């Protein structure tokens, strides 16, 4: 080996140093490293402590959140199972069940012999779902052509069909099945129909009595309203469970409640008689170009109404049966028919007899020198002459009747009018019935203190007037009018209605005397056109002026309007039926504007129908009016 070769460290030394560098524990630690190590350890320890505290907070917060959530859940469960349990149970039931009302049938109305007057009939109601109508304008036009709608109604229907927010709208209620089928044949999208009960009358003349129902079958007039509770049934119900497609499924919860149909009414009306009275009255009202007319046929002993007809002129000049029963809801001054009550009261109190005589002028001035001064003329022109009570009634003397009434005080005369039923509603209690007008005697002013004697100063309905005259026919006993004789429930059990109220007004002797006087009125007096061959008839005419809006009995043009009436009974010697006929505003230029010429002939025709339909026969020896006018009555007028 050369002396110039580089010197090298021994391998053993390098190996030791290398081992020392790889083993920290083998190295010697200086002061800086020592304090650095101490510092690093402290920081690590503090970080670990901070992390531990956050963890505990997080766990506590998590448990708190879980507790609150569970509390809310438990609270919600508590509310659902207690407070709102019934509400959600109902929602659940509604989701899985369907309920449908089964309409009950409204009861029928029959005449006295069981003939139908008003009956339920099946109809169809057409409706639409605007959401399913594809072309509202065309659909409305097609429906209008079938249903014969007015242009205004068609436009209104088209607007409703365009309302897509609606799922249902009526097209027309309660039409004939044939019309509904014609609509169905059009196959209009969104248009359909369903069955509904309607109401029909067997004759339109019954409308004023029977009344009507609305489209929902509720009585709104006449007997339909008065006995609505009896006629209305109780709807049934069908509850069923359905699946998600609305189809019925078998279930123990399915419930069916059968409907209970309404009860029936049996009226006192005789349908055949009613039909013929309607025709007779309308012919006369049309012939006289009158405003209206009424006719009432009442059984003398029972008060039962066999016929009640009402005819009125329409706005277009035609005539027909009115919707309202003017026999019960309209009042008029009765005119000379009221002389029956004035004379009967004086006879009953013993103040006069049929032969009592009074000196009667043709005209007389009352309340002279006062603001009420007024001249009253007699019913017909004549000189001052003596008249018996019989002649006063037979010839219908106004001034003679005043003298008869003055044998009693005004207060007493007013009490007699009340006893005959004026001033209060009758037992009929018909919907809308008026009590008429009867002021207290102390409130009578001016000539009202005298004119009540012959039918002015108070007002009555036709029902009140026929019931009052019936007192004479019924041997002096007042009996209230009656329209319904029985009700029949759904099981067919018939229950009679209470008897009409009665009270004695006149003695039998006075009633017999008045029947004799009223028979003479027909045979020899103002009502000779009421005669019937082979049958005695009694009655009294009435011709009254109609009070105008200006407070007088004269129209603005100086003309008058008349109210002609006749009330009588047959047979006169043993009355069975009392009949009223009134003609409101007959042609004022016609000779037939009076009670004896306008109303009395109608009575005779109705009387003949009563004889034929009800097999009425006169008593033995009853031959009707015989002989000429008695001499004691003087010449006729």
| pLDDT value, residue 40 | 57
Compute the mean pLDDT over every residue in the chain, rounded to the nearest whole number.
88
What six digits make up the tokens of 430? 């018909």
| pLDDT value, residue 101 | 75
Is the pLDDT at 193 greater than 50? The verdict is yes
Residues whose CB falls within 8 Å of the CB of residue 45, separated by 6 or more in sequence, listed in order: none
CA 384: distance to chain centroid? 54
3-class DSSP state for residue 528?
A: helix
| pLDDT value, residue 250 | 65
Rounded CA separation 550/557 (Å) = 12
| pLDDT value, residue 13 | 45
Helices (H), 389-457: 389-394, 398-405, 410-419, 448-451
> Of 85-99, 185-199, 287-301, which has the strongest mean pLDDT?
287-301
Superfamily of segment(s) 329-633: DD-peptidase/beta-lactamase superfamily (3.40.710.10)
- pLDDT: is 17 or 100 the higher one? 100
> Which residues on neighbouring strands pair with residue 213, listed in sequence order?
219
| pLDDT value, residue 4 | 43
Burial pattern 16-48, b for ≥16 Cβ within 10 A else e, equals eeeeeeeeeeeeeeeeeeeeeeeeeeeeeeeee
Percentage of the chain surpassing pLDDT 70?
Answer: 88
User: Residue 146 in contact with residue 193, Cβ under 8 Å?
Assistant: no
Helices (H), 318-370: 326-329, 339-348
Residues 446-478 have pLDDT tens digits of: 888 999 999 999 999 999 999 999 999 999 999
Is the pLDDT at 314 greater than 70? The verdict is yes
197: left (phi over 0), alpha (psi -120 to 50) or beta: beta
Residues whose CB falls within 8 Å of the CB of residue 621, separated by 6 or more in sequence, listed in order: none
Lowest mean pLDDT among 258-262, 535-539, 560-564: 258-262
What six digits make up the tokens of 311? 């005819």
Instruction: Count Cβ atoms below 10 Å from residue 342 Cβ, excluding itself.
Output: 25
Instruction: Count Cβ atoms below 10 Å from residue 571 Cβ, excluding itself.
Output: 23
Binned at pLDDT 50, 70 and 90, residue 234 comes out as confident
Q: What would the mean pLDDT of 372-398 be, rounded to a whole number? A: 93
| pTM of the complete model beyond 0.85 | no
| pLDDT value, residue 270 | 97
Burial pattern 466-499, b for ≥16 Cβ within 10 A else e, equals bbbbbbbbbbbbbbbbbbbbbbbebeeeeeeeee
| pLDDT value, residue 8 | 46
Q: What would the mean pLDDT of 111-137 be, rounded to a whole number? A: 92
Is the pLDDT at 551 greater than 80? The verdict is no
| pLDDT value, residue 46 | 56
- SS3 letters for 248-299? EECCCCCEEECCECCCEEEECCCHHHHHHHHHHHHHHHHHCCCCEEEEEEEE
What six digits make up the tokens of 19? 């081992």
Residues 2-47 have pLDDT tens digits of: 444 444 444 444 444 444 444 444 444 555 554 455 555 555 555 5
Residues whose CB falls within 8 Å of the CB of residue 126, separated by 6 or more in sequence, listed in order: 143, 147, 170, 171, 172, 175, 180, 183, 191, 192, 193
* Same fold? 96-115+202-267, 121-200: yes
Q: Which residue has the tokens 């650095």?
A: 36
Say if domain 96-115+202-267 classifies as CATH 3.90.1310.10.
yes
DSSP string covering 364-390? EEESTTSTT-EEEE-SS---SEEEEHH
Q: What would the mean pLDDT of 46-67 be, rounded to a whole number? A: 76
Binned at pLDDT 50, 70 and 90, residue 620 comes out as confident
| pLDDT value, residue 273 | 97
Q: What would the mean pLDDT of 228-234 be, rounded to a whole number? A: 92
Residues 245-300 have pLDDT tens digits of: 555 666 656 677 888 889 999 999 999 999 999 999 999 999 999 999 999 999 99
Write down the domain spans for the chain: 96-115+202-267, 121-200, 329-633
User: Residue 565 in contact with residue 530, Cβ under 8 Å?
Assistant: no
Binned at pLDDT 50, 70 and 90, residue 104 comes out as confident
Residues 567-604 have pLDDT tens digits of: 999 999 999 999 999 999 999 988 899 999 999 999 99
Question: 121-200 has which CATH code?
Answer: 3.90.1310.10
Largest CA distance in the chain: 206
Burial pattern 525-559, b for ≥16 Cβ within 10 A else e, equals bbbbbbbbeebbbbbbbbbbebbeeeeeeeeeeee
Residues 470-524 have pLDDT tens digits of: 999 999 999 999 999 999 998 899 999 999 999 999 999 999 999 999 999 999 9
Q: Which of 302, 295, 328 is nearest to 225 (CA)?
A: 328
Rounded CA separation 481/140 (Å) = 51
Rounded CA separation 186/192 (Å) = 10
- pLDDT: is 91 or 309 the higher one? 309
Q: What would the mean pLDDT of 429-457 be, rounded to a whole number? A: 93
| pLDDT value, residue 77 | 82
């Amino acid at each position: 080996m050369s002396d110039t070769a580089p010197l090298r460290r021994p391998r053993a030394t390098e190996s030791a140093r290398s081992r020392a560098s790889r083993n920290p524990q083998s190295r010697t630690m200086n002061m800086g490293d020592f304090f650095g190590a101490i510092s690093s350890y402290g920081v690590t320890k503090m970080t670990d402590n901070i992390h531990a505290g956050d963890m505990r907070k997080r766990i506590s917060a998590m448990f708190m959140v879980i507790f609150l959530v569970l509390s809310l859940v438990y609270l919600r469960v508590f509310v659902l199972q207690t407070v709102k349990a019934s509400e959600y149970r109902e929602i659940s039931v509604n989701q899985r069940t369907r309920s449908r009302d089964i309409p009950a049938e409204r009861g029928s109305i029959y005449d006295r012999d069981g003939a139908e007057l008003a009956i339920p009939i099946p109809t169809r109601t057409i409706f639409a779902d605007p959401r399913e109508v594809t072309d509202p304008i065309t659909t409305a036009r097609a429906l209008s052509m079938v249903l014969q709608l007015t242009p205004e109604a068609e436009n209104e229907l088209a607007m409703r069909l365009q309302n897509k927010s609606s799922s249902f709208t009526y097209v027309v209620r309660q039409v004939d099945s044939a019309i509904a089928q014609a609509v169905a044949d059009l196959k209009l999208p969104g248009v359909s129909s369903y069955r509904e009960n309607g109401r029909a009358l067997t004759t339109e003349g019954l409308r004023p009595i029977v009344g009507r129902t609305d489209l929902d079958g509720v009585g709104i007039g006449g007997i339909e309203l008065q006995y609505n509770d009896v006629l209305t049934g109780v709807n049934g119900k069908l509850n069923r469970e359905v699946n998600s497609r609305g189809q019925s499924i078998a279930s123990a919860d399915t419930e069916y409640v059968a409907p209970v149909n309404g009860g029936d009414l049996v009226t006192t009306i005789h349908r055949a008689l009613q039909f013929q009275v309607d025709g007779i009255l309308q012919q006369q009202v049309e012939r006289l170009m009158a405003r209206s007319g009424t006719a009432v046929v009442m059984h003398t002993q029972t008060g039962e109404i066999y016929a009640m007809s009402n005819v009125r002129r329409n706005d277009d000049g035609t005539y027909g049966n009115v919707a309202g029963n003017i026999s019960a809801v309209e009042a008029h001054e009765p005119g000379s028919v009221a002389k029956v009550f004035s004379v009967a009261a004086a006879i009953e109190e013993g103040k006069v007899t049929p032969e009592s005589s009074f000196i009667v002028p043709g005209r007389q001035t009352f309340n002279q020198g006062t603001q009420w001064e007024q001249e009253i003329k007699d019913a017909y022109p004549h000189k001052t002459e003596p008249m018996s009570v019989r002649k006063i009634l037979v010839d219908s003397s106004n001034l003679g009747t005043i003298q008869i009434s003055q044998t009693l005080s005004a207060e007493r005369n007013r009490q007699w009018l009340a006893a005959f039923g004026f001033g209060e509603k009758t037992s009929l209690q018909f919907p809308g019935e008026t009590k008429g007008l009867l002021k207290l005697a102390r409130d009578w002013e001016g000539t009202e203190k005298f004119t009540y004697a012959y039918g002015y100063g108070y007002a009555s309905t036709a029902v009140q007037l026929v019931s009052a005259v019936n007192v004479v026919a019924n041997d002096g006993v007042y009996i209230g009018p009656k329209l319904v004789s029985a009700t029949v429930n759904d099981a067919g059990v018939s229950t009679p209605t209470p008897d009409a109220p009665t009270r004695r007004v006149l003695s039998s002797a006075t009633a017999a005397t008045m029947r004799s006087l009223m028979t003479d009125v027909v045979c020899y007096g103002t009502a000779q056109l009421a005669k019937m061959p082979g049958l005695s008839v009694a009655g009294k005419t009435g011709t009254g002026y109609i009070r105008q809006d200006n407070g007088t009995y004269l129209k603005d043009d100086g003309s008058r309007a008349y109210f002609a009436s006749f009330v009588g009974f047959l047979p006169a010697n043993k009355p069975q039926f009392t009949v009223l006929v009134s003609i409101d505003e007959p042609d004022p230029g016609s000779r037939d504007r009076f009670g004896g010429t306008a109303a009395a002939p109608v009575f005779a025709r109705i009387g003949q129908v009563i004889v034929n339909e009800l097999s009425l026969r006169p008593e033995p020896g009853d031959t009707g009016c015989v002989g000429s006018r008695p001499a004691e009555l003087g010449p006729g007028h």
